[in-house]
Every structure is written in structure tokens, then in C-alpha cells.
Amino acid sequence: MINIKKSKAPDKVFNHKDKDIKDKIRNDFFVLCYICEEFVPVHFQIDHFKPQNNFPELKNNWENLFYCCGKCNGMRPRNINTDGNEVLNNCIDDVEKLIKLEYIKKTKKIKISSEHNSVKIKNTIKLLNRIYNGIGVKNSKAPYYKRVEIKKEIEKFEKLFEKYKKNKFLFENSIKQRLSKRTKSLNSNYVSFKRQMIDYHKFKQYFD
């Protein structure tokens, strides 16, 4: 998951389906799904962080509208962020420091961990295990295909990083593109996986 700083709420009364509102949210989230970090330039959905069925008063609340891919929106539990089921909020919580994501080549699964043990963090890990590893999901191949794409992205980054170590000047810009959310292209796919593969202190200037 990636940290997001939302822009100021629109001054006007709006509907979350309005094109300009969707474009604004799209830009805020760097065209990345707030749950899985997939780059989703088209066919995205506006997700209600707190479900509108349980919180109808937040249907068009700016702080409750998140950028999401259709796969994650379809797989996430319907009771997410209801009493006892709250997860970390990318726009408030420092999710990049609280949640560790790692692709394990041997098992071909995603390891999701944290040094912290709050209820929200436990629920977030459970959600991400559902999204990435298919735990609790029936008859869906979406988690498998997500892992396939993550594997490809990590392998590409590893090869690029080896080239970068041999010639920093030549490959510096390519590394920067793959570590920055602001790239807003396929290069920013699953960006936190790549960030967590390297030394933060050496590369933090490329992160945002």
C-alpha cells in the first residue's frame, strides 16, 4: 500500500460519479489502486472507504472516496471499515512504514507483515492476504494473476537495478521512474514492493 495525500475537497456540491471528481481522485492517487497498487488508467472504480450501504451520509464525502481497481473492489469484504473491521487509511496512516510487502519466489506468494499489532493492522494484513494470496476468496483467479504481474515487475526491477549498480549515471532516471508514484505510468506498478527491496536512505529522494 502507498501513502496518499488527498487534495483539498471541491468547494461545490458534487456527486462521486462526476467526471471532474473522478479525474481529481485519479490524480490524487497517482492512477494507482489504493489497495494493490496496480496502475489502472482506465476501467477504474471510485471506492467508498467506509461502505455507502452502512454510511449513506458519506456517499459523496470527499475524504471517503478512493481510487480502486475493479478486481480489488470486487474482492474486498463488504463489511470492511464497519465496527471491528477497520483497516489502515492510506490518506491518514503511514502505510508504507507500517506494512511490509515482499514477493517470496519459493512459494510464489506475497508475504505481508508488520512490526505492529493493532487491530487495524491485523485487519489490513488480512485484507491484503485476501487480495494478493486469495485467502478467503472463492472461485477467483484475480489474486494469482496479480502475483504473476508482481513477479514480472520485480524481476524487471532487479535486472534494472543490477545495471544501475554498474552504471549509475546511465540508469538513474529509469530507477527513479520505478520508485516514484508520480511517474503515473506502468513503471509505477506495485511501487512499494520495489521501494522495500532497496535501502530507503540511499534512494528516498526518488520516492515521491
Q: Which helix (H) or strand (E) holds 62?
A: none
CB 67, CB 56: distance < 8 Å: no
pLDDT at 94 over 90: yes
Dihedral sign, Cα of residue 4, residue 10, residue 13, residue 16: negative
Report pTM.
0.93
Residue 4 placed within a domain: no
Residue 14 placed within a domain: no
- How many domains does the chain contain in total? 1
The residue segments making up the domain with residue 100 are 19-206
pLDDT at 207 over 90: no
The pLDDT tens digits for 131-176 are 999 999 888 899 999 999 999 999 999 999 999 999 999 999 999 9
Residue 13 placed within a domain: no
Instruction: Report the distance separating Cα 101 and Cα 80, nearest Å.
Output: 21
Residue 162 placed within a domain: yes
Based on its alpha-carbon atoms, the radius of gyration of the chain, rounded to whole angstroms, reads 17
Instruction: Report the distance separating Cα 111 and Cα 14, nearest Å.
Output: 39
CB 28, CB 6: distance < 8 Å: yes
